[in-house]
Structure 1
Amino acid sequence: MSSIQQNIELITSQIKSAEQKCGRARDSVQLLAVSKTKPNQAILEAAQAGHQLFGENYVQEGVDKVQFFNQNHPELAIEWHFIGPIQSNKTRHVAEHFAWVHTIDRAKTAQRLNDQRPEGMPPLQVLLQVNTSGESSKSGLDAEQVFELAELISRLPNLKLRGLMSIPANVTDYDSQLAAFTELAALKDRLHALYPSVDTLSMGMSGDMEAAIEAGSTIVRIGTAIFGARDYANKS
């Protein structure tokens, strides 16, 4: 058994333990393996161990990986999530290659992704990025902007609104982590009342995963704990 497979099994066990501890339904939280900067071989090891959900932050790197696995390992049926910032000149690449986008925070981006989604592909599953920390250095919408953008997306046929995503402040205090995640979960519930397709909360990483799960996360994003330290020398 490879170390990557062992790491996935350990994290999956931790997720199941947190689900049980918090009274969540079994398998209600998905593990998204964040594979940015990681070579195809590392992703292949994880996929051959049975993992199918992978998240990429950099457009060209992600597209290259999607194409490689589509051409060489279509039997693995990998589901690719884009979880990084999207520049306007890169929306076509994202629309053409990914199944999910977690980081929509502008109407222009949503419109371009809709218009550039190829005919015959299923709608792009999208999350709105919310700035729960209020930090000016972080991307994301405030609560009022969430509802404005959700209304636009509800009218775009090639996008399907699934929920919210956040990158909260980097704090180690459990109560503070939980408070931020609970705020996002409440916003998701309000959104769900208007748009029944909203069922997803992408929140929680290695250092705050348990608090995220207690608050209602449905996708946790884990990278280093699966693949080891990242090498940013070749990112694109």
Structure 2
Amino acid sequence: MPTLAERFAAAYDQVQVAVEKAERVPNSVKLLAVSKTKPIADIEAVAALGQTDFGENYAQEAVEKAQKLAHLGLQWHFIGPIQSNKTRPLAEHMDWLHTVERDKIARRLSEQRPAELKPLQVCIQVNISAEPQKSGAMPADVKDLAALIQTLPNIELRGLMAIVENTADEAKLAQQFTAMQTLFDQLKTRYDNVDTLSMGMSQDLQHAINHGSTMVRIGTAIFGARQPRQSN
């Protein structure tokens, strides 16, 4: 069975190969190591290999890990659904939030971000597949939400995030990835600080990178199967 170091190296190489196949600039796509439910020791081990960006899905777990590993200077990305009653700890301890989907959450994050910290870097989550069970703003609402975020003092809009439909239909996947790339390109023309398109996981990584993704989320392929967790 491959070691953690071997799995991380393989995931990193997978991203670089996908970038090369897409004829993108080398190192233009960042690997976000999704460490949800994984122990501190595993994160420390991957950080020791040079990884600095880690993604978490559950607010309490994310904050606890950020606090315990503050000495490592890591970048913590929250990539799970944001509950209104969990915005304060996230605003206080995360570096990035990828899942802003409505005005209320954006305003609360800005109000609750400590003044002594750098602005919280945020992405708007887009429900590009229009699945009713999935979080995210509708594509038609992205422009107005982005405009609001730009007015808020303690958060900074960096781009868009999406989780495409879980389907084997290649045409449908291509349609959704293309739609996200178009939305991202439109946003970049309006705002100089927009540079991040967070989409793609192990199973659809090549598609995502072909369509302009700048950050891909990889968890199980690095850390192994998820562990049971207690609810926040």
User: What band does the TM-score fall into relative to the shorter chain?
Assistant: over 0.9
Match of 1:232 in 2: 228
Aligned to 2:117: 121
Q: Name 1:31's counterpart in structure 2.
A: 31
Q: Shift in Å at residue 119 of structure 1?
A: 1.1
- What is the letter of the counterpart of residue 130 of structure 1? V
Give secondary structure in 2 for the equivalent of 1:234.
coil
The alpha-carbon deviation at position 234 of structure 1 amounts to 2.7
The equivalent of 2:129 in structure 1 is: 133
2:48 alignment partner in structure 1: 48
8 Å contact 1:35–1:55 — kept in the other structure? Answer: yes
What is the 5 A alignment of 1:46-195? 46-70=46-70, 74=71, 76-195=72-191
Counterpart residue type for residue 119 of structure 2: P
- Determine the C-alpha separation between the residues in 2 that align with 1:92 and 1:104: 14
The SS at the match of 2:31 is strand
SS across alignment from 1:118: coil
1:205 aligns with 2:205: no
Q: Percent identity of the aligned residues? A: 50
Which SS does the other structure have where 1:154 is aligned? helix
What's the CA shift for 1:23? 0.8
Is 1:223 matched with 2:230? no
Provide the rounded CA distance (Å) in 2 between the counterparts of 1:233 and 1:12. Answer: 27
Tell me the distance in 1 between the aligned counterparts of 2:69 and 2:172.
Answer: 40
State the distance in 2 between where 1:192 and 1:90 align. 30
Q: Which residue of 1 aligns with 2:7?
A: 7
AA aligned to 2:164 is P
- Which letter maps to 2:93? H
Q: Which amino acid is the alignment partner of residue 96 of structure 2?
A: W
Mapped to 1, the partners of 2:74 and 2:5 lie a distance apart of 16
Q: Say if 1:117 and 1:124, in contact at 8 Å, map to a contact too.
A: yes
Ranges of 4+ aligned residues in structure 1 off by more than 4 Å: none
Structure 1 distance, partners of 2:56, 2:229, is 16
Determine the C-alpha separation between the residues in 1 that align with 2:230 and 2:126: 29
The count of corresponding residues between Structure 1 and Structure 2 is 231
What's the RMSD between the two structures over aligned residues? Answer: 1.2
| 1:54/1:235 CA distance change after superposition, 3 Å | farther
1:140, CA displacement in angstroms? 0.9
Code of the aligned partner of 2:193: S
1:21 is matched with: 21
Contact persistence 1:56–1:83 (CA under 8 A): yes
- Provide TM-score, normalisation by structure 1: 0.95
Deviations 1:133-192 (A, max 9, x none): 111000111122101111110001111101000011101344432321111011011111
Structure 1 alignment gaps of length 5 or more: none
Gaps of 5+ in 2: none
CA distance in 2, matches of 1:126, 1:113: 10
- Give, in whole Å, the separation in 1 of the partners of 2:199 and 2:51: 19
